[in-house]
């Protein structure tokens, strides 16, 4: 199995090297996407159990998304529901296809064995992504979102973020797929919440930019590593990154807290913001240093 993982990594490196040598031309991009998609289809075709599991998870996401849309239709009216629908639908379709594209990474980190099902842990992650897709759909549709609704979806995201890691560890189903989709779901959720807080004039623009940099800097570094240097990216986390995520989470909860606790939130707002910003700077720095040490060690 380990050799299979190595072969897949080498296949990706070969694709990226070819893309770079052809100077990222439209034809090179078309070949790159076509070969990547064929590789994903081959994984799904040769692993029927995993393919059926992906279909079940996708169906559950579609039903959950339909319930969210129906709730908006009933509570906010057809005009608002139809405005958010195109963006929401696009994000959900992208989310489901992204999961299919990465099915080959549903492997145990150490042994490299392909897990036969997507699993409950990854489903929790996908639910968090669905909540993020709903908020992004509202943003793309220009639909105003009450802070209480943002808070409810953000709390749901926190719960699923706790559950997916706990379930994966207890059931021994940690995988590269889980690492990637977890990062994507976090990025989309925090992106949506940050933009909405800025939209509501609750969060200053410059603070929002600094907070988004926590996700954007590693993402840009990963894209550069892949597409410029044709080098596989090592995904991981640092203690500083976990602390930064916790601080940002608490700060958003303070900003979204009901007006009944205004006295408490005003008291801790500035100290928590200061700590959050310091950790936001420390986290990507620690990640870069960790990657540099890994490079030297290899």
Residue 80 reports pLDDT greater than 90? yes
Question: In angstroms, how far is CA 228 from the centroid of its own chain?
Answer: 23
Residue 73 reports pLDDT greater than 80? yes
Domain ranges (residues) in the chain = 1-46, 48-201, 203-298
Residue 6 reports pLDDT greater than 70? no
Distance CA 268, CA 59 (A): 43
Q: What is the pLDDT of residue 155?
A: 96
Q: What is the pLDDT of residue 298?
A: 55
Confidence at 43, pLDDT banded by 50, 70, 90: confident
pLDDT digits (tens, 9 = 90+) for 120-176: 999 999 999 999 999 999 999 999 999 999 999 999 999 999 999 999 999 988 998
Buried b (16+ CB within 10 A) or exposed e, 37-54: eebbeebbeebeebbebb
More confident of the two residues 160 and 3: 160
CB 28 within 8 A of CB 18: yes
Give which of 163, 187, 193 is closest to 254, Cα–Cα: 193
**DSSP code, position 107:** B
- To which residue do tokens 């405005």 refer? 83
Specify the range with the lowest mean pLDDT, choosing from 17-26, 45-54, 251-260: 17-26
Q: What is the pLDDT of residue 5?
A: 46
Confidence at 2, pLDDT banded by 50, 70, 90: very low
Q: What value does the mean pLDDT of the chain take?
A: 85
pLDDT digits (tens, 9 = 90+) for 267-282: 999 999 999 999 888 8
114 dihedral zone (left: phi>0; alpha: psi -120 to 50; beta): beta
CB atoms within 10 A of CB 271: 9
- Helix, strand and coil percent figures for the chain, each rounded to 5: 85, 0, 15
Q: What is the pLDDT of residue 125?
A: 96
| pLDDT above 90 as % of the chain | 53
Q: What are the counts of helices (DSSP H) followed by strands (DSSP E) for the chain?
A: 10, 0
Distance CA 250, CA 153 (A): 15
Residue 250 reports pLDDT greater than 50? yes
CB 167 within 8 A of CB 120: yes
Please give the model's pTM, rounded to 2 decimal places.
0.86
Q: What is the pLDDT of residue 183?
A: 86
CB atoms within 10 A of CB 33: 13
More confident of the two residues 29 and 3: 29
pLDDT digits (tens, 9 = 90+) for 200-218: 999 999 999 888 877 777 6
Distance CA 111, CA 115 (A): 11
| pLDDT above 70 as % of the chain | 81
Which phi and psi angles does 107 have, rounded to 5°?
A: -125, 150
Q: What is the pLDDT of residue 248?
A: 92
Q: What is the pLDDT of residue 51?
A: 94
258 dihedral zone (left: phi>0; alpha: psi -120 to 50; beta): beta
């Amino acid at each position: 199995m380990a050799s299979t993982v190595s072969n897949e990594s080498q296949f990706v490196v070969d694709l990226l090297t070819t893309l770079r040598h052809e100077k990222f031309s439209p034809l090179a991009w078309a070949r790159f996407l076509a070969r990547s998609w064929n590789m994903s289809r081959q994984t799904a075709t040769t692993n029927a159990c995993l393919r059926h599991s992906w279909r079940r998870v996708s169906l559950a996401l579609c039903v959950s998304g339909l319930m969210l849309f129906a709730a908006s239709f009933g509570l906010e009216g057809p005009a608002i529901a139809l405005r958010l629908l195109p963006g929401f639908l696009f994000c959900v379709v992208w989310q489901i296809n992204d999961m299919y594209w990465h099915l080959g990474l549903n492997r145990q980190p150490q042994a490299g064995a392909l897990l036969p099902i997507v699993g409950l842990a990854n489903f929790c992650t996908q639910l968090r992504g669905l909540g993020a897709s709903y908020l992004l759909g509202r943003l793309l549709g220009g639909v105003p979102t009450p802070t209480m609704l943002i808070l409810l979806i953000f709390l749901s995201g926190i719960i699923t973020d706790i559950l997916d890691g706990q379930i994966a560890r207890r059931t021994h189903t940690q995988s590269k797929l889980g690492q990637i989709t977890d990062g994507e779901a976090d990025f989309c959720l925090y992106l949506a919440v940050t933009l909405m807080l800025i939209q509501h004039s609750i969060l200053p623009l410059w603070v929002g930019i600094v907070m988004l940099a926590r996700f954007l800097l590693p993402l840009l570094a990963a894209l550069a590593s892949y597409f410029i240097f044709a080098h596989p990216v090592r995904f991981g986390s640092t203690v500083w990154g976990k602390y930064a995520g916790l601080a940002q989470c608490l700060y958003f909860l303070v900003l979204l807290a009901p007006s009944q606790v205004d006295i408490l939130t005003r008291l801790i707002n500035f100290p928590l913001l200061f700590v959050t910003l310091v950790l936001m700077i420390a986290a990507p720095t620690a990640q870069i240093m960790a990657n540099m040490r890994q490079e030297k060690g290899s």
